[in-house]
Structure 1
Amino acid sequence: MAAPTNTFTSTAAVGNREDLADVIYRISPTDTPLLSLAERVKAENTLHEWQTQALAAPGDNAQVEGDDATADAAVPTVRLGNRTQISRKTARVSGTQEEINTAGRKKELAYQVSLKSLELKRDMEYAITRNNVAATSPRKTRGMVGWMDAANVNAGTGYVAPDYINNVAQTDGTQRTFTETQLKDVAQKIFTSGGNPNTLMLGPTQKQTFSTFLGNSTRFDEGEDKKVVAATDIYVTDFGALKAVPNRIQRPRDAFVIENDKVAVAYLRPMQKAPLAKTGDSEAVMILAEYALENRAPTAHGGILDLS
């Protein structure tokens, strides 16, 4: 039915105010699992170093009664290090835009700074999960992939483990399907090496594959709640329980088995913001952090690598 003659409708009106919600819905995820898991420590130089200590291997220890004591061989420490990496983001807003009445935020520059801070954290997560060698120009911190010990890895054909002592990156192998057997293999290898891992960190695709691992369990449908449980979050190995943590930012081909207290992020300069010099009709703020991944004991961790 048509409107009565001369009915003034919204399509003809000129002065109607726009209807713009005063909320901005952010769709990009901001979780940084490894950065959040790692302890926060202080770095005091661009080459951040630490030491590891191993005990002598256990062996037969039976002594003759009345014998004189002699000194046993000392096991020296191993000195490890990583380079600090500078990561930054810059927000710049014109003077005009800063004065305009905006929807969803009070001031544009403050809003842009908050976004760039979140983006910087995601970039840091990217760095500490990747396979960079500890480069010097520009400095790059060696990520988790670059700390994999050959003894604790299950990888595809052609894989060559990194040499974190001599700063040589790994060579990726042929990709293959993630299996429960691979996970059990790495858990056993880490335990044999002296580690006690408690976290399995993996990409979304591998998390779904992981949830199909049955172990010794039987799946049940919770019929009365009309709910099917198809996810696994804790996997109990023969050597301890692993909490599965999905990570959107790490490489999909890598699954890390981590002992939480043996990994940290060392900050030479914690995340900070500073106004930049005014060079025209705009305001700029730089957000910056300088940091290094501190893998306190590479043999405490392991990886199922080259996953498809």
Structure 2
Amino acid sequence: MTQVAGTLDTYVQKGQREDLQDAIYNISKADTPFISNIGRGKAKAVKHEWQTDALAPADTTNAQLEGDEFSYTQRAGTIRVGNVCQISRKPIIVSGTAEAVDKAGRKSEVKYQSLKAGKELKKDEEAILLSGQASNAGGSTSNGGTNTPRKLGGFPSWLVTNVSRGAGGANGGFNQGTGQVVAPTAGTARAFAESQVKDIQQSCYTAGGNPSMLMMPVAYKRQFSAFPGIAQQRRDTGNKAATIVAAADVYVGDFGPLSAVPNRQFVANRVLMIDPSMVKLAWLRPMQVVKPAQTGDATKRMLLTEYTLEVSNEAAHGTIEDLT
């Protein structure tokens, strides 16, 4: 085909209006299944503490003489544990001009960026809570130390009772001497297997726990669904094409069902077995928008939160570590 000579086309035309759709498409997901499923608590100091306890094992020798004199032994006391409140924040600063100009997809740049930062901050919280970081009491130059931010002990760092680790791996846990949570030591990497799930579920049940959730990084969800036999079936739909079920969302083990939950913010080489009723997100300061004084031709906002993780009793949960 040949263009007619002298045709005015869009390549030379001036004054075309911009075709920019009045919408912004953001594919990044801000889902936080760990935070969404666990409980809520209130911290009242930068060191948040609570107590744990356990019943003594059953005594099969508990048979007494008729008319015997009573005797007494000291009862075991509770165990006091705690975690540190961590401060996380997201800064926003928008020039007066950027707020005033006509914009596509949003009316206020300050409000749009504040909403976006709030979702990012929640993602940060999820990833931090699920990390294997040790707690840190922090410090400042005012007491002769160095300026160090406080850090909470992540959920996997607490777990010492029901654990499956690669060769050379070691538990972290709460240290009664220092009052801090110690990070675990990584072991030799190994493949994720169904036997590990069975072993940890049994260990949790024996310890008195009733976990209901199996939380894992996205890649491990595919490995989980590929366990032999648990997701190999076809669902008859009458005259329509059959549905191939190639994923497992609920694993029914010997000691109860476990919901298999992939987590986009969870990228470590571990799978966690969780009892949501035995872990809480405790806020010293819930997420808030701070409005600093304006010192130039710009609007400032700071999204800020101060929080910690309360692991009510670590023996209620389990972890499978050092996975490839």
Task: Quickly name the TM-score band, shorter chain normalised.
Answer: over 0.9
Residues in 2 aligned to 1:268 and 1:204: alpha-carbon distance in whole angstroms: 31
Q: Distance in 1 between matches of 2:124 and 2:108?
A: 25
Deviation at 1:71, TM superposition (A): 4.4
Which of the numbers 249, 260, 263 marks the counterpart of 1:244?
A: 260
In 2: Cα distance, 1:45 partner to 1:133 partner: 19
Counterpart residue number, 1:187: 201
Corresponding residue of 1:27: 27
Structure 2 counterpart of 1:160, which letter?
A
- Of the three residues 298, 312, 317, the one matched with 1:282 is 298
Distance 2:175 2:54 in 1: 16
Q: Secondary structure at the match of 1:82?
A: strand
Aligned counterpart in structure 2 of residue 219 of structure 1, from 221, 232, 249: 232
Which runs of structure 2 are paired with 1:8-19 in the superposition (5 Å)? Answer: 8-19=8-19
Q: How does 1:1-308 map to 2 (within 5 A)?
A: 1-60=1-60, 61-71=62-72, 73-135=74-136, 136=138, 137-149=148-160, 151-166=161-176, 167=180, 168-214=182-228, 219-222=232-235, 224-308=240-324
* Worse-matched range after superposition: 105-114 or 247-256: 247-256
Q: TM-score, normalised by structure 1?
A: 0.94
3-state SS in 1 of match to 2:13: coil
Change (3 A) 1:72 1:152: same
State the SS of the aligned residue for 1:58. Answer: coil
**3-state SS of the aligned residue for 1:116?**
helix
Residue-by-residue CA offset, 1:205-260 (whole Å, 9 max, x unaligned): 11110001246x57222364343211001111111111011012223301000111
Q: CA deviation at 1:5?
A: 4.2
Secondary structure of 2:113's match? helix
Q: Secondary structure at the match of 1:131?
A: coil
Which sections of structure 2, spanning at least 5 residues, go unmatched?
A: 139-147
In structure 1, distance between residues paired with 2:67 and 2:242? 74
User: Which amino acid is the alignment partner of residue 142 of structure 1?
Assistant: G
How many residue pairs get aligned? The number is 306
Kindly state the Cα deviation for residue 81 of structure 1 after the two structures are TM-superposed: 0.2
Q: Over aligned residues, Cα RMSD in angstroms?
A: 1.7
Write the distance in 2 (CA, Å) between the matches of 1:62 and 1:11: 99
**1:32/1:122 contact within 8 Å kept:** yes
In the superposition, the TM-score normalised over structure 2's length comes to 0.90
